[in-house]
Amino acid sequence: MVGPAAFAPDIIRRAEHTAIAHEYECWRSVRADVVRRSGVGRQETNLTAENHAILLNMLGAAKAGEDYVDGRRVAFTQRPAGSLSFIPADHNWSGWDDGDPAASYLFITVGKKFILDQFENVPGADLDRLLPKIGFEDALIQHAARSIRSEIGQRDALSHMIVENHARTIFGRLFRGSGQRRHYIKGGLSPAILKRVIGRIEASLDGSLSLAELAHEAGLSEHYLSKAFRLSTGFSPHAFIIRRRVERASEMLRCSGRPITEIAYACGFASPSHLAAAFHRVIGITPRQYRADWKT
């Protein structure tokens, strides 16, 4: 099957190294490449995306460097294991970074026509609003990307369907985060109030936070805050808080060896089973499965 064009790691992500391993698979509309390097020195990026490109850093951190998007310098963000970068078709990412000597990443390319066909008539899915984004985290995209990686080497007839479903999940999340649902229509929160409320949520992920406290922060009634928050974000305050706690737990599962019980309490869950239920609802697998999958 023919997927997007071949990925050349020594051209697109050139680096000094002592050893390199490269495996890949092409499906009808998607290609996935896994690159592992040891003895890595400075890495240079020069990517002009003909198709949409998603990069997941699986091992090693980019700790210092410079990034340019479409020729314009942007602030460098350190990229630990788990960080994502997205370059839409017809955009460019260039720059350099220094980091850990052992590194690996997953590079996924998705055909422009496939995404256009899948989302052309979906309200809120405007391709023009998909902009390059370097060094961000999203637990659902991470899981979908790693699920695509797990299909490398599969030879059955269902593989391309599974991969394309994961690609749809990735782009659903990208569209949702692109600002489509943050038009401050009548009844929604103003940008300043929304920022203040979300800031309070972020500062309280490890403890309890009531709707009354959020309403007080916003200077609104509980009923109006709940309705306006949903209009502005697509989530109720409670659902948004749970999702952010799950995302924080996923980061701790990847980046620390802390027991799951300890992580549950640190992320504001009443018990490990409470974390497991919320994690499965948001990510689709249990925290234990997530940690085991990430370590493989």
pLDDT at 68 over 80: yes
CB 48 within 8 A of CB 92: yes
Q: Indicate the Cα dihedral angle 158, 164, 165, 171, nearest 10°.
A: 170
CB 168 within 8 A of CB 118: yes
Return the pLDDT at 9: 77
Task: For 243-277, write each residue's pLDDT tens digit.
Answer: 899 989 998 998 888 999 999 999 999 999 999 99
Q: Domain spans of the chain? A: 9-180, 191-295
The CATH superfamily of 191-295 is: Homeodomain-like (1.10.10.60)
Give the pTM: 0.76
- Smallest CA-to-CA distance from 272 within 294, 253, 251, 296 is with 253
Return the pLDDT at 296: 62
Rounded-to-integer distance, Cα 259 and Cα 257, Å:
6
The dihedral through the CA atoms of 7, 12, 13, 17 has a sign that is positive
Q: Give the H/E segment covering residue 69.
A: strand 62-69
Task: For 94-108, write each residue's pLDDT tens digit.
Answer: 999 998 888 899 999
Residue partners of 134: CB distance under 8 A and separation at least 6: 67, 69, 74, 77, 79, 85, 93
Name the fold adopted by 9-180: Jelly Rolls (2.60.120)
